[in-house]
């Protein structure tokens, strides 16, 4: 591919997008770096009401509580919601033309162009602004969220008058309280987000302390002009610290101004050690010694390093190529890396799902990190470790005397799900986390993590299963370990007994606890003592796992979603209008729960995660049974279907699922991308390439095996993975798979039944692919 074409494949240009809705563009062009995210809103908008957008800065893990009001409250229901805070938009700029200010009267803004260079993380935008007096200005913005220093965001403004010469003032400020227009157009000042307090800090540059009232968190944000220009002055005379640019502009001539923001870590207001002045001094000195371009160069290098390991190249299908790149870009920029935060389901691109972390992180996003960026995967898992105490409290609330139960949706570790049948009852999240932790350990060989955190997570979750489940007393379940009253991944079925997926995952969780306990008995016996593990407990885990009840319909020879699943009527799909999907927005849950209808794969997810459980015939029967029942109302659904369709060799079908799911956000396929991107689905699209098209499977017995099949629409697929300290690149065409050892001395894997042995001296191996 020519260099230009390669560069082009990293650009996301406005012309490529069919949806031009303001909220949608704010989301897809949002920039983030794991610590914070900034939506690509109208820079003059601030928080002017009626402008339609949702501008703002979202800091990962910075939230406040709000009380959940229940009609009837049972013991143990979460008292509080946790909502990510919408902070001042660092792109915000106030213009003054002919004595009229854009924060007092509406100027019109037209989006002319936008382009995101995903290779470096630089966003370029062009707007045309018209003042109420008819003066037209071109405003261009270049911005990036630093990938090298997570505190830093930079924005450069270039302004050019198109139909006049004269005086224009710019203000770079974030007022103490938000200003909004009332219905009759008058300006009034109100605190729109009443959860937040903001205070200016006395300094030679603008700085704000932002605190939350109920969760008692704080952070500091400062901004600085990046340059020596005499046109810019700092002013705080009216109590609002700001930079003022008093310009005498010539028609057609441009002036540029660069600003750097520093956004501190979150601290607890109880933390007396937090010293704002020291932070601000350091942040100011750092920005003072840098320019927009030097900060950008550092950031772009880090972004390019990310692509070196994580890029997935699809040849022959530019749309899919763009889709996977866009997904990987957002996946990367959404991930908290401090061990105290995780990945919100909507990333840091919007307030959708209130900034909560779900099982999406471990089940759908983590594999991409585990195989391409293990240190990030470790940090993400450490977040769960740091919330183990909250999980222990939740297990206690469930009436259990030991173990830990992770929250279904949360920021601080405590449950924030107000609807427990489709929320808290999804106890499978416990086993999902244990599974992800174990995969990380197996793939990376990071036994330090096992000792430091992984084992405790796996043990405490196993203890939960041992207590939550019980041994059946009569009928076919007699003597078997049963787990009653749970909700599986399919949220259109709730509070069932023996959900196949949950039971199979719990079985795995119990076995993992025994496996790692045996390993630590040899290497770190103190760890077992410290955590109070006894031989009796391990035997109880093994017994429960061995006796785990897994519902199966002998007549249909299909795995049954739960005990009563097949007794229910099938949902009347032929009488359901197209615009009544997603069903949850149109039908009462009690109507859905009484039918066989799946929001997303449930039992099939277990088939995906445990490929050695069934032969291809069983998989086909399961697939054929559940596929027609599935609405894909969750964006997490199609990727799993594409992977399984590949496994059963329904390659055309697999491609249809891939093509749709790769473009979930770029095409606004779920119709709600304006609230934020679907990061779980983005992570799953990496799985579609590796576990699906390349047919990658990791088993304890064989290690990594591949069974590739390239869609006929593509000419090649290339990606790299890291495995136990080595890195291998995989290049798949219709007829060949080429494996190349990039890092490491030796690695063996299997491809289509052949042993592939890569060594320092013969780093490349080619396998001729069977016609599948
Ligand atoms: C899905 C859940 C998912 C949540 C957050 C829901 O629509 O059904 O599985 O965890 O969205 O992405």
End-to-end CA, the chain? 28
Q: Please tell me the distance from the alpha carbon of residue 464 to that of residue 439, in angstroms, as a whole number.
A: 20
- DSSP symbols for 71-87: SS--TT---EEEEE--B
- Helix 637-647 and helix 616-626, axial crossing angle in degrees, nearest 10: 140
Calculate mean pLDDT across residues 742-747.
95
Q: How many angstroms separate the alpha carbon of residue 680 from the centre of ligand 1?
A: 9
Q: Yes or no: say if 602 and 488 are a contact pair by the CB < 8 Å rule.
A: yes
Q: Yes or no: say if 132 and 99 are a contact pair by the CB < 8 Å rule.
A: no
Q: Please tell me the distance from the alpha carbon of residue 721 to that of residue 367, in angstroms, as a whole number.
A: 11
**Could you tell me the pLDDT band of residue 81, with boundaries at 50, 70 and 90?**
very high
Q: How many angstroms separate the alpha carbon of residue 431 from the centre of ligand 1?
A: 16
pLDDT of residue 44: 93
Extents of the domains making up the chain: 33-306
**What is the token pair recorded at 734?**
């219709």
Is residue 599 marked as binding?
A: yes
Is residue 359 marked as binding?
A: yes
Is residue 360 marked as binding?
A: yes
Residues annotated as catalytic are 491
pLDDT of residue 390: 98
* Strand-pair partners of 424: none
Q: Yes or no: say if 147 and 299 are a contact pair by the CB < 8 Å rule.
A: yes
| Residue 199: pLDDT over 70 | yes
Q: How many angstroms separate the alpha carbon of residue 34 from the centre of ligand 1?
A: 21
Q: Please tell me the distance from the alpha carbon of residue 187 to that of residue 171, in angstroms, as a whole number.
A: 18
Q: Yes or no: say if 374 and 388 are a contact pair by the CB < 8 Å rule.
A: no
Q: Please tell me the distance from the alpha carbon of residue 535 to that of residue 543, in angstroms, as a whole number.
A: 12
Burial class (CB in 10 A: 0-12, 13-18, 19+), 573: exposed
pLDDT of residue 196: 77
Atom number of ligand 1 nearest to Cα 678: 12
Pocket of ligand 1 (CB under 6 A): 345, 353, 358-360, 489, 491, 599-600, 634, 636, 680
Q: How many angstroms separate the alpha carbon of residue 634 from the centre of ligand 1?
A: 6
CA distances from 306 to 111, 145, 205 (A): 30, 15, 34
**What is the token pair recorded at 462?**
């196993």
Q: What is the pLDDT of residues 277-323, one digit of tens each?
A: 889 999 999 999 999 999 999 999 999 999 999 999 999 999 999 99
Q: Please tell me the distance from the alpha carbon of residue 5 to that of residue 238, in angstroms, as a whole number.
A: 52
Task: Specify the 3-state DSSP secondary structure of 491.
Answer: coil
Write down the CATH number for the domain with range 33-306. Answer: 2.70.98.40
Ranges 170-174, 623-627, 699-703: which has the least confidence? 699-703
Q: Whose CA is nearest to atom 6 of ligand 1?
A: 634
| Residue 188: pLDDT over 50 | no
pLDDT of residue 198: 81
Atom number of ligand 1 nearest to Cα 422: 8
pLDDT of residue 46: 60
Atom number of ligand 1 nearest to Cα 353: 5
691 preceded by cis ω (within 30°)? no
Kindly report the average pLDDT of the chain as a whole number.
94
Q: Which of 345, 407, 683 to mutate to test the pocket of ligand 1 (most atoms within 8 A of CB)?
A: 345
Q: Which of 494, 680, 682 to mutate to test the pocket of ligand 1 (most atoms within 8 A of CB)?
A: 680
Q: Please tell me the distance from the alpha carbon of residue 717 to that of residue 613, in angstroms, as a whole number.
A: 28
Q: Which of 360, 366, 637 to mutate to test the pocket of ligand 1 (most atoms within 8 A of CB)?
A: 360
Q: Whose CA is nearest to atom 12 of ligand 1?
A: 345
pLDDT of residue 176: 52
Atom number of ligand 1 nearest to Cα 356: 5
Q: What is the pLDDT of residues 348-393, one digit of tens each?
A: 999 899 999 999 999 999 999 999 999 999 999 999 999 999 999 9
Q: Where are the alpha helices (DSSP H) in 289-399?
A: 292-310, 318-334, 360, 366-372, 374-386, 388-397
């Amino acid at each position: 591919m020519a260099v230009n074409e390669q560069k082009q494949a990293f650009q996301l240009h406005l012309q490529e997008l069919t949806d031009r809705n303001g909220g949608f563009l704010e989301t897809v062009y949002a920039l983030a770096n794991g610590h914070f995210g900034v939506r690509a809103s109208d820079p003059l908008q601030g928080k002017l009401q009626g402008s339609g957008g949702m501008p703002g800065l979202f800091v990962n893990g910075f939230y406040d509580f709000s009380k959940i009001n229940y009609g009837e409250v049972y013991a143990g229901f979460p008292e509080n919601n946790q909502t990510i805070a919408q902070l001042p938009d660092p792109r915000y700029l106030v213009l003054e033309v002919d004595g009229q200010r854009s924060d007092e009267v509406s100027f019109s803004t037209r989006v002319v162009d936008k382009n995101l260079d995903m290779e470096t993380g630089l966003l370029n935008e062009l707007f045309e602004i018209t003042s109420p007096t008819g003066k037209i200005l071109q405003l261009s913005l270049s911005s990036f969220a630093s990938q090298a220093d997570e505190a830093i965001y930079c924005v450069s403004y270039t302004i050019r008058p198109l139909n006049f010469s004269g005086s224009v003032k710019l203000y770079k400020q974030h007022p103490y309280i938000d200003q909004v227009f009332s219905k009759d157009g008058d300006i009034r000042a109100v605190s729109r987000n009443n959860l937040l307090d903001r205070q200016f800090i006395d300094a030679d540059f603008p700085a704000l302390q932002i605190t939350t009232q109920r969760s008692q968190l704080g952070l500091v944000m400062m901004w600085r002009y990046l340059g020596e220009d005499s046109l810019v002055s700092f002013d705080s005379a009216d109590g609002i610290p700001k930079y003022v640019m008093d310009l005498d502009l010539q028609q057609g001539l441009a002036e540029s101004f660069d600003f750097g923001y520093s956004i501190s870590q979150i601290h607890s207001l109880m933390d007396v050690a937090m010293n704002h002045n020291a932070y601000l001094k350091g942040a100011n000195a750092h920005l003072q010694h840098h320019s927009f371009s030097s900060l950008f160069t550092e950031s772009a290098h880090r972004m390019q390093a990310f692509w070196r390991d994580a890029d997935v190249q699809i040849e022959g299908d530019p749309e899919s190529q763009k889709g996977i790149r866009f997904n990987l870009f957002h996946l990367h920029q959404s991930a908290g890396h401090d061990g105290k935060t995780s990945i919100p389901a909507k990333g840091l691109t919007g307030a959708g799902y209130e900034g909560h972390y779900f099982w999406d992180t471990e089940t759908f996003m983590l594999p991409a990190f585990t195989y391409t960026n293990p240190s990030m995967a470790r940090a993400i898992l450490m977040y769960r470790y740091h919330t183990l105490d909250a999980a222990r409290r939740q297990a206690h609330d469930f009436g259990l005397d030991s173990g830990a139960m992770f929250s279904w949706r949360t920021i601080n570790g405590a449950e924030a799900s107000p609807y427990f049948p489709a929320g808290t009852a999804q106890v499978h999240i416990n086993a999902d986390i244990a599974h992800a932790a174990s995969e990380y350990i197996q793939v990376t060989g990071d036994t330090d993590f096992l000792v430091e955190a992984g084992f405790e997570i796996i043990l405490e979750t196993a203890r939960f299963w041992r207590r939550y489940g019980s041994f059946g007393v009569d009928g076919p379940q007699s003597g078997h370990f049963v787990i009653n009253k749970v909700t599986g991944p399919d949220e259109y079925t709730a509070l069932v007994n023996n959900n196949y997926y949950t039971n199979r995952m719990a079985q795995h969780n119990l076995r993992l606890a025994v496996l790692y306990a045996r390993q630590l008995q040899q290497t770190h016996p103190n760890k077992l003592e410290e955590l109070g593990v006894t031989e009796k407990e391990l035997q109880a885990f093994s017994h429960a796992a061995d006796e785990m009840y897994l519902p199966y319909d002998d007549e249909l020879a299909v795995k049954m979603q739960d005990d009563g699943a097949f007794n229910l009527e099938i949902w009347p799909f032929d009488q359901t209008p197209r615009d009544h999907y997603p069903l949850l927005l149109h039908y009462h849950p009690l109507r859905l729960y009484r039918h066989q209808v799946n929001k997303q794969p449930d039992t099939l997810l277990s088939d995906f995660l445990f490929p050695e459980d069934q032969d291809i015939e069983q998989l086909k029967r399961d697939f054929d049974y559940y596929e027609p029942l599935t609405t894909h109302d969750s964006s997490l659904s199609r990727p799993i279907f594409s992977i399984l369709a590949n496994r059963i060799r329904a390659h055309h079908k697999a491609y249809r699922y891939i093509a749709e799911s790769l473009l979930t956000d770029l095409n606004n396929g779920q119709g709600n991308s304006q609230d934020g991107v679907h990061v779980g689905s983005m992570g799953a699209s990496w799985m579609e390439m590796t576990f699906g098209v390349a047919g990658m499977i990791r088993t304890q017995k064989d290690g990594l095996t591949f069974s590739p099949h390239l869609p006929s629409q593509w000419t090649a697929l290339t990606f790299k993975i890291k495995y136990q300290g080595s890195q291998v690149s995989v290049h798949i065409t219709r007829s060949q798979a080429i494996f190349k050892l990039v890092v490491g001395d030796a690695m063996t894997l299997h491809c289509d039944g052949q042993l592939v042995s890569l060594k320092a001296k013969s780093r490349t191996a080619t396998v001729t692919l069977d016609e599948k």
